[in-house]
């Protein structure tokens, strides 16, 4: 794995309720070794200025707001997110082809052109829950169909389980970006993740980027934890 310093593969999940807690961690991390994921909780609490603050500190930011709305609204949200200078943002593939194409057009029109990816099926959903919302096919097929639709809309990739990465990499080609959570270093606590994969295995299975939270955020020394995981990826 080359260019890890120019294109760090680790995305640290900033799952915090306020700016002070998030910054306490961020100030210990190195932007050459990781990017940062800001999701709905932190973004709703702290707002766009915080994203700009992270960017000024040279961190690439994955704005994980999973937009899902009518095409015009999603396009405008994607423009607004792009204007914050984020590195990556996402939408729900189940918003449909037209919605994703509108998002693509909006991001292409921005001066920053962040990576634009889609969520296929939330990993909190099981087969029964999928059936309850009217999806009749099996879950794996639904994930693949939504990933193909994402590619048809010319988005850059999808969020997926590392366990789906080999199959998606094979079906969708080498250029498609696969962002995988559920990563745990060998011998680490699994927390509430049930299907975990080590960083190196995830990359070998075709993952492009690894979303990692608690193994870094709860470490006694987060920078050392980040460095150790980074070294496992080389």
Q: Which spans of this chain sit near ligand C5P (rule: CB under 6 A)?
A: 13, 15, 39, 123, 159, 181-182, 191, 193, 211-214
Nearer to ligand C5P by Cβ, of 206 and 213: the residue is: 213
Instruction: Check if the beta carbon of residue 49 is closer than 8 Å to that of residue 71.
Output: no
CA atoms within 13 A on the CB side of 154: 9
As a dihedral over the C-alpha atoms of residue 226, residue 230, residue 231, residue 234, rounded to 10 degrees, the angle is 180
Residue (151 or 180) nearer to ligand C5P, CB: 180
Which residue, 43 or 101, has its beta carbon nearer to ligand C5P?
43
Q: Which of 91, 37, 90 is closest to 59 using CA atoms? A: 37
What is the three-class DSSP state of 82?
helix
* Cα 228-167-140 angle, rounded to 5 deg: 110
In the bound state with ligand C5P, the residue whose beta carbon lies nearer, of 181 and 222, is 181
CB of 54 to ligand C5P, least distance (A): 15
H/E stretch holding 213 reads none
Q: Note whether 51 and 35 are within 8 A (CB).
A: no
Tokens 């993740």 locate to 193
Distance CA(20)–CA(17), nearest Å, equals 9
Closest approach of ligand C5P to the CB of residue 183, in Å = 6
Q: How far is the CB of 108 from ligand C5P (least distance, A)?
A: 26
Q: Which of 24, 66, 76, 171 is catalytic?
A: 66
Respond yes or no: is residue 66 known to be catalytic: yes
Alpha carbon distance 22, 219 (integer Å) = 14
* Closest separation in Å from C-beta 212 to ligand C5P: 5
Count of Cβ atoms closer than 10 Å to residue 200 Cβ: 17
Dist CA 163 CA 173 (whole Å): 16
Give the shortest CB-123-to-ligand C5P separation in angstroms: 3
The helix (H) or strand (E) run that includes residue 11 is strand 10-13
If the CB atoms of residues 182 and 222 are measured against ligand C5P, the closer one turns out to be: 182
Residue nearest to ligand C5P (CB): 213
Q: What is the set of active-site residues?
A: 66
């Amino acid at each position: 794995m080359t260019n890890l310093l120019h294109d760090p593969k680790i995305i640290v999940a900033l799952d915090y309720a306020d700016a002070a807690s998030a910054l306490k961690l961020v100030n210990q991390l190195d932007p050459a070794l990781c990017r940062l994921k800001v999701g709905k909780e932190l973004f709703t609490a702290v707002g766009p200025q915080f994203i700009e603050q992270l960017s000024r500190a040279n961190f690439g930011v994955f704005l994980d707001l999973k937009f899902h709305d009518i095409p015009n609204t999603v396009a405008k949200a994607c423009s607004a997110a792009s204007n914050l200078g984020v590195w990556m943002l996402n939408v729900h593939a189940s918003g449909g082809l037209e919605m994703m194409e509108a998002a693509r057009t909006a991001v292409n029109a921005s001066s920053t052109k962040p990576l634009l990816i889609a969520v296929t099926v939330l990993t909190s959903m099981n087969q029964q829950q999928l059936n309850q919302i009217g999806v009749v096919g099996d879950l794996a097929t639904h994930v693949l169909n939504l990933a193909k639709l994402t590619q048809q809309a010319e988005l850059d990739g999808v969020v997926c389980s590392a366990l789906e990465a080999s199959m998606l990499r094979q079906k969708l080609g080498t250029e498609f970006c696969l962002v995988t959570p559920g990563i745990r270093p060998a011998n680490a606590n699994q927390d509430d993740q049930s299907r975990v994969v080590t960083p190196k295995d995830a990359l070998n299975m075709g993952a492009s980027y690894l979303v990692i939270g608690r193994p870094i955020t709860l470490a006694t020394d987060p920078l050392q934890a980040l460095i150790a995981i980074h070294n496992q990826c080389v």
